[in-house]
Structure 1
Amino acid sequence: MKKIIIIGYGPAGVSAAIYLKRVGINPLVIGKDLGALQGYSDLVENFYGTGKPISGTELIENGIQQAKGLGIEVISESVISLKQEDDHFVVLTTNNRYEAKSVLLATGKTRQTLNIPGFVKYRGKGISMCAICDGYFYRKKKIAIVGCGPYMLHELDYLSKIAKDITIFTNGNPLDASVSQPVIHDKIVKFSGDSKIQHIETKNNRYEVDGVFIALGIPSSVEFASQLGVIVEKNNLVVDENYQTNIDGLFAAGDIIGGKLQIAKAVYDGMLVADSIYNYLNKK
């Protein structure tokens, strides 16, 4: 079992890993492929020590290589679930299961959604981003789940325990898995209804639904935190002065806790949260 798993290898996560390594704690850092990172392609011209403009992606890659050079274990896997078991955390990726005494969420705020008419209107009114959070309200009802990858399959596994009438909508993408539920491959053109969602409309048909669960790409820190009951305000994870959430041993840093969305601030968060994690683990 690891002492600390850091989810996200951007500036906050890697900075925390480097500081933890220097005080004798070996973290495991998990992040998705650099090619999948969004929002880091712009040139960075105001970060100390770069000398000349550098792309955000290159800056992040330099940080990852620095961490690896210090002997920090960094792996590229997509995390699809975070849960608690007894006195530790379990991190599930598309390939593996990891256990740790503490976890730092530093994935940023990027979250893939849908640019489809009705999505914004019915989000929270029948459209949900978290099966574990809201699935209970749709027991024995007609459910749709939108997605096609490992995260969708993980959410489907949970939903299938509480409802039998589930339809998968891949929104035009291939589904490389064998499932027992009906699969609709058509592109979704509209979500419709009255005060709550009632239909998914595709290019070729219209389907009645009571609830829709979006499971595209991989979940963000907000989705991970929501699964555990972390307090979220204005799409930011709420942390105390030690960067700890209301869940003992679960920390958060970087863009996901709000404030200025700047690399310098994320690095600063990483330094401070590393100190808090060190103190937390030493008390255990």
Structure 2
Amino acid sequence: MADVIIIGSGPAGVSAALYTARAGLNTIILSMGSGALAKAEAIQNYYGFSSPVSGQALAQAGIEGAKNVGVHFETGEVVGVGFDENLIVETAAQSYQADFVILATGSPRATPRIPGIEAFEGKGVSYCAVCDAFFYKGKNVCVLGTGEYAIHEIAALQPVAASITLLTNGEKPSAELPDGVMVNTTKISAITGDDRVEKVQLADGTEIATDGIFVAYGVAGSTALARKIGAQIDGNKIVVDENMATNVPGLYAAGDCTGGLLQISKAVYEGAKAGMEISKLARKIR
């Protein structure tokens, strides 16, 4: 049981961790490793540097600073966020419980550019199996993805769906599939139907009849995780108040996932704000 779990080790997540750890809160950062900042060749518009600094150097300096004040870093792919008596963060390997969670994985990944996905959102195309599985009881569904995130969605669908087909859109599955799941690795041409999703058209000219498609492409970003727990979303950004809190008690978001200026300075500010507010609340409830 942690006091605070932060998903993402970029500027927003590390900035938040500096404040919560210094306030005496047991703080864990979960991430898949280097994010977008580490890929930047040179940064010369950030306060405090007289000459350009590499993104990798800046990211590593931030992480080392957080470790020095007691922040714990763990590597893992987060596939879900839920709520029992406490907030629960699920990785591909285990589950964590915490009083507070901060989503800070950066801007959401692009939806696969497949004709029909956006047109059928809410009409057979879903981004949250935990939310929508009930509506597909006894029906045939597809999951679009290749890795642990897709497997997590499949697990939520298996108790209710009549059949599940994993669509990899031309890629190889990167995770072990549960028994009973069909796999189709053919490239997807389009998703079609009248008022709702009815078929997946494949590049080889064949079609798959389906009642719904669950998009679990790549790694679950902050927006996808927020959807799973019922946090308010506006387009591709998470809605937060002036304290970086979402509408879900104990759940915060910071950085690129909240929209606005996609800059390090903005991410650091929002992380600091979230960390300070959580520290204040934790003192009140202890």
TM over 0.5: yes
Are the equivalent residues in 2 in contact too, given 1:112–1:217 (CA < 8 A)? no
* Partner Cα distance (2:280, 2:147) in 1: 38
**2:191 match: secondary structure:** strand
Are the equivalent residues in 2 in contact too, given 1:38–1:110 (CA < 8 A)? no
Are the equivalent residues in 2 in contact too, given 1:198–1:210 (CA < 8 A)? yes
* Letter of the structure 1 residue corresponding to residue 116 of structure 2: G
Superposed, 1:113-124 pairs within 5 Å as 113-124=111-122
Corresponding residue number in structure 2 for 1:266: 267
* Partner Cα distance (1:111, 1:220) in 2: 7
* Partner Cα distance (1:28, 1:282) in 2: 18
Q: Deviations over 1:92-122 (max 9, x none)?
A: 1112221111111111223242122333333
Distance 1:21 1:39, change over 3 A: closer
Are the equivalent residues in 2 in contact too, given 1:171–1:185 (CA < 8 A)? yes
Are the equivalent residues in 2 in contact too, given 1:83–1:89 (CA < 8 A)? yes
Distance 1:154 1:23, change over 3 A: same
* Partner Cα distance (2:269, 2:177) in 1: 45
Aligned residues: 281
Corresponding residue number in structure 2 for 1:245: 246
List runs of 5+ in structure 2 lacking aligned partners: none
TM-fit CA distance, 1:252: 1.5
Superposed, 1:181-200 pairs within 5 Å as 181-200=181-200
* Partner Cα distance (2:24, 2:65) in 1: 17
**1:121 match: secondary structure:** coil
TM-fit CA distance, 1:157: 0.7
* Partner Cα distance (2:126, 2:106) in 1: 20
* Partner Cα distance (1:203, 1:259) in 2: 38
Distance 1:235 1:203, change over 3 A: closer
Q: Deviations over 1:175-196 (max 9, x none)?
A: 3414312111212222222333
Q: Deviations over 1:180-224 (max 9, x none)?
A: 121112122222223332211223321111111111122122222
Corresponding residue number in structure 2 for 1:147: 145
Corresponding residue number in structure 2 for 1:171: 169
Is 1:7 paired with 2:7? yes
Corresponding residue number in structure 2 for 1:79: 78
Q: Deviations over 1:117-136 (max 9, x none)?
A: 33333333322211122223
Are the equivalent residues in 2 in contact too, given 1:116–1:188 (CA < 8 A)? yes
* Partner Cα distance (2:37, 2:110) in 1: 12
Superposed, 1:33-44 pairs within 5 Å as 33-34=33-34, 37-38=35-36, 41-42=39-40, 43-44=42-43
Superposed, 1:107-118 pairs within 5 Å as 107-118=105-116
**1:271 match: secondary structure:** helix
Corresponding residue number in structure 2 for 1:52: 51
Are the equivalent residues in 2 in contact too, given 1:230–1:246 (CA < 8 A)? yes
Are the equivalent residues in 1 in contact too, given 2:6–2:104 (CA < 8 A)? yes
Corresponding residue number in structure 1 for 2:100: 102
**2:257 match: secondary structure:** helix
**2:87 match: secondary structure:** strand
**2:4 match: secondary structure:** strand
TM-fit CA distance, 1:156: 0.3
**1:54 match: secondary structure:** coil
TM-fit CA distance, 1:57: 4.3
Deviates more, 1:105-114 or 1:274-283: 105-114
**2:155 match: secondary structure:** helix
Deviates more, 1:215-224 or 1:175-184: 175-184
* Partner Cα distance (1:59, 1:39) in 2: 8
Q: Deviations over 1:69-105 (max 9, x none)?
A: 333211121100111111x111111122211111111
What is the percent sequence identity of the aligned residues? 38
Q: Deviations over 1:225-262 (max 9, x none)?
A: 22221122233222223222222111111222233221
